[in-house]
Structure 1
Amino acid sequence: MDEYGEYGYTTIKNLVLSGRLELIGGGWVMADEATTHYIELIDMYSLSLTFLNQTFGKCGHPKVGWQIDPFGHSKEHANLLRMRILY
């Protein structure tokens, strides 16, 4: 969040902590399932969720997963999202 500066960072953090801004999915990027192996999905979510936890604590934990891939998502990706969200 360095690109937002201290004021922007504080504003975003306050919005998340107050429940006025909700983080969706929790991925560092949106996964492209056409080229990604599930290990990369796990690594990407691990990295991003660690960042969210360190930055926002429990308030930053996503409650909703969203995969907008126009071709749909695999059963494995849905299971990974489910395990991550319910953990």
Structure 2
Amino acid sequence: MGTVEGVVRTDVEQLGDLTGIEPSLAEMAYALAHQIDLATSGECDTCGEPVPQGDDGRTLPQLNRELRQTLAQLLEGRATDDDDDLGDLASPD
């Protein structure tokens, strides 16, 4: 596991139990982070063999955008949770 993937896994674990589509989003984030690690290291993390980079590094910014969007979707679903047991006191009846 590379650096980015390790950090993403740690961050997602901090969220606690995943529900609904959150597990799918988490898996997508792990896969994207793994691809970022491969693109930045230039070698396979399991065998150490060079990974061909035929795009001259143009894929990395796209992977970064996709990872940020995926993590934002994961967090967005969490922001709607109401954990205070007070209900939504600010909403009009």
Larger radius of gyration: 2
The verdict on a shared fold, with TM-score over 0.5 as the criterion, is no
Instruction: Determine which structure has greater relative contact order: mean sequence separation of CA pairs < 8 Å that are 6+ residues apart, divided by chain length.
Output: 1
TM-score normalised by length of structure 2:
0.29
